[in-house]
Structure 1
Amino acid sequence: MELLKRWWIVSRRRWLVLAVCLVVALVGVSAYNVTVHTQYTASTQLFLRAPDVKTSAGAYQGDLFSRQRVQTYSKMFQSDDLAQRVIDRLGLKLTPQQLVSQVSASTVKDTVLMVVSVTDPSRERAANIANAYGDVLDSYVAKIEYIDNNPDIPPLVQVVTRANPATAVPTGYPLWLISAAALVGALVVALALIWLLERFDTKVRSRRAVEAITGSTVIGQFARNKVLSRNADVDAVFDADENFRQAALRLSINVDSILHRLPDLSKPPVLAVVAPRHGDGATMVSRTLGRAFAERGRSVVEMQFGSESELSEPQHAHAGSITITTVGLTPLLTAKAFDYRLDAAKEGADIVILDSPAFTESVEAQVLVGAADVVVQVVDADASTHSLTEIADGTRVIGTPVLGVVVNFARHSTTVDGRYL
């Protein structure tokens, strides 16, 4: 069951590969059906009687002699002379070599019956050629046996069953079989391509992979929210979307629980929220976490960093207060100037949240991570293993404890490793 779940998730993600392979198979079958001309095979059945040759040894006058004779006669259908007789009889516009390539003869086991089969694009012509071979074979054999002028010897070849255009059967593989083979082939190729893409995929596809690369536990997860992506109003989504609100409150409780277990934290603790790249949602997570703490009665200070000059602006809060301070990036490189701003932000706060720039795009992010007591890493569920490894190694070098990982824009499955859909 687990394997089926994984394949279903992968197939949903790689549906385009599957669709392209199926379309190619459909086009191939259609092209085959249009370009390949249908061939029909008509057959006539002949009875061959051995001539009464009195000088033959007794062992060859019986049934064994007759069967060996039939085997010999079946080789005559490769004769250009016999083919020319059929061409003259029917007025065909073919060379003997062309006609010979359309004709085959086989014997019925343990009998003196021979089946002559003719393949041709036309049912009628295939039947006419097969019947013509049956008609001219007797005179041809009689000539070879030197009995063509002896009226006392009955015909050596007799037609048992004449070919009928209505009973001519199409040769080659039927269309349904070609379609089935194309479908199976398309599925095999699609599965092989999907396996290769998954094998060499550089993106993180599961909760277990995130935890393995970062070495930290996933403490929160936010699904992709269309309303939030349109207007970026965390407060509005927090109030309107109960699932989003529950996820935010759950994250704040997890952060609180871990903070209480960590020794030697400053009062209030300084928490840096950092993501590998811009657009991974670190700002959204920091604002959501601040709102969740405020919902639980905490006084929160959020520090944002950008090109604007420093300003402080109170913002409405639910059962608490949130203060957002925007600081220019330049003071970050001066430890004394930043410490002054950080100390000012701590006054009266229960927790300080630093909304850090992208870790892999800004050197100031490393300064913030070093100044914080703990770090929360934010990763996109579609992030590459390279960017995730880079931020994990970077924070490990700085030495600031990692509180946990928040996976953004994720919708996990029920698989054991928590694969993302």
Structure 2
Amino acid sequence: MRRRWLVVAVCLVVALVGASAYNVTAHAEYTASTQLFLRAPDVKTSAGAYQGDLFSRQRVLTYSKMFKSDDLAQRVIDRLGLTLTPQQLVSQVSASTVKDTVLMVVSVTDGSPERAVNIANAYGDVLNSYVAKLEYIDNNPDIPPLVQVVTRANPATVVSTAIPLWLIITAAVVSALVVALSLIWLLERFDTKVRSRREVEAITGSPVIGQFTRNKALARNDDVEAVFDADERFRQAALRLSVNVDSVLQRLPDLSKPPVLAVVAPHRGDGASMVARTLGRAFAERGKSVAQLQFGPESEVSRSQREYAGSVMTTTLSLAPLLTAEAFDYRLDAAREGADIVIVDSPAFSESVEAQVLVGAADVIVQVVDAGATARSLTEIADGTRVIGTPVLGVVVNFAHDSTTVDGRYL
């Protein structure tokens, strides 16, 4: 979750934006209801009362169907002065009966709560005259109304059919988290990157002897000595690396004098050249004389570059003549004179055949890996150096982000 926090953030933002857009664009509708009572015929006996009640219940079922009538809808339209057609109004109205009673509930749904109330009440007002006309009793003043309004609609009882905003947001957040966790699971399931110090050591079979965090100044100008002098954290990391290299070298038998250390990485962008130059500067800071060999285009053969603190001599050699170990040994003998250690800045191991020649001619190897390297690239360089037979002194991790986990994760 810490490493994939961006997936969670994006899913949450998309969900909240979608919920907001739905809330803005969704048209809320409101339902108002009017309750009507259907009167039974006047009776004098209990048997007649039963028959009248049964008659009224049957009439309730019949009258509920009348709300699909365009004629009744037109009466409401005329009463309220609506701009709707009868068919449009009919689609907004429904009627239902209360079980085992002679009560009928008329419900009206509209985008305006006030209009929904007015239409519901208008239906209650015009229904009696409409029924009286159908029953041919509209001109008889002696017959009481067949339909009476029991409960009129009012704004306080209007029910909104829109989904509450809190429920929309809750559903959006839960859905976003489910999607985010599913994506994270898929990414982790098919992620081949090495994410921790423990994984690096398990794949390479060598200890991690140093690591460098991301450095904006170094990434901007690639000037090792400037960053070394300006960034104390970077300087301390470089000095620790040189001390670790020194302590391991002292425990290795049968090393040449001075020892030749090859710095190699699986790929060109893993930062092997930066580690080689930084290690040379750190040794010089500790008072050692360092000879450093770099390899570039043939036009730069034997071009001496600057010295660090008067103790590091860097020589750029062409890769063209370095097809054999003998050719490299000839160059190496010249670099050993007066040096306490020779550092070879090797080309990328997986991209250059010459890198294997240089690694085979060195006494020890320092492997440099990107903190986000794949297990495949680490396995290739580990297997390749194991075949060559040159001892691996340790691994340096570049672009690391430390965490507090026991694995030393590079998140």
| TM-score, normalised via structure 1 length | 0.81
Query: How much has 1:378 moved relative to structure 2?
Result: 0.9
Task: Verify: 1:18 aligned to 2:21, yes or no.
Answer: no
Distance 1:271 1:52 in 2: 115
Query: How much has 1:218 moved relative to structure 2?
Result: 1.8
Q: Contact 2:263–2:345 (CA<8 Å) still a contact in 1?
A: yes
Partner SS for 2:3:
helix
Partner SS for 1:77:
helix
Identity, % of aligned positions: 80
Distance 2:57 2:249 in 1: 98
Q: 1:230 to 1:173 in 2, by over 3 A?
A: closer
Mapping of residues 202-217 of structure 1, within 5 Å? 202-217=192-207
Task: Verify: 1:9 aligned to 2:26, yes or no.
Answer: no
Residue ranges of structure 1 left out of the alignment (5+ in a row): 1-6
Q: 1:192 to 1:395 in 2, by over 3 A?
A: same
Query: How much has 1:407 moved relative to structure 2?
Result: 0.9
Query: How much has 1:186 moved relative to structure 2?
Result: 3.9
Comparing 332-341 with 168-177, which one deviates more in the overlay?
Answer: 168-177
Structure 1 letter corresponding to 2:27? H
Aligned positions, number: 409
Which of 217, 221, 230 lines up with 1:227 in the alignment?
A: 217
Partner of 2:22: 32
Query: How much has 1:375 moved relative to structure 2?
Result: 1.3
Distance 1:81 1:189 in 2: 52
Partner of 1:355: 345
Partner of 1:309: 301
Q: Contact 1:123–1:166 (CA<8 Å) still a contact in 2?
A: no
Distance 2:388 2:130 in 1: 100
Q: 1:237 to 1:157 in 2, by over 3 A?
A: same
Comparing 57-66 with 238-247, which one deviates more in the overlay?
Answer: 57-66
Distance 1:201 1:367 in 2: 33
Which of 212, 237, 240 lines up with 2:227 in the alignment?
A: 237
Query: How much has 1:176 moved relative to structure 2?
Result: 4.5
Partner SS for 2:4:
helix
Give the alignment's Cα RMSD to 1 decimal: 3.6
Query: How much has 1:23 moved relative to structure 2?
Result: 4.7
Query: How much has 1:52 moved relative to structure 2?
Result: 4.4
Which of 363, 373, 384 lines up with 1:383 in the alignment?
A: 373
Partner SS for 1:409:
strand
Structure 1 letter corresponding to 2:122? A
Query: How much has 1:10 moved relative to structure 2?
Result: 2.2
Which of 398, 404, 408 lines up with 2:388 in the alignment?
A: 398
Partner of 1:156: 146
Q: Contact 2:263–2:272 (CA<8 Å) still a contact in 1?
A: yes
Distance 2:306 2:21 in 1: 70
Which of 230, 239, 256 lines up with 1:249 in the alignment?
A: 239
1:92-145 deviations in whole A, cap 9, x for unaligned?
454544323211234556765433211123334322221122123334455667
Distance 2:296 2:147 in 1: 103
Partner of 2:357: 367
Q: 1:91 to 1:297 in 2, by over 3 A?
A: closer
Partner SS for 1:266:
coil
Comparing 361-370 with 164-173, which one deviates more in the overlay?
Answer: 164-173
Query: How much has 1:227 moved relative to structure 2?
Result: 2.7
Task: Verify: 1:420 aligned to 2:399, yes or no.
Answer: no
Which of 266, 272, 290 lines up with 1:276 in the alignment?
A: 266
Distance 1:64 1:397 in 2: 101
Comparing 177-186 with 47-56, which one deviates more in the overlay?
Answer: 47-56
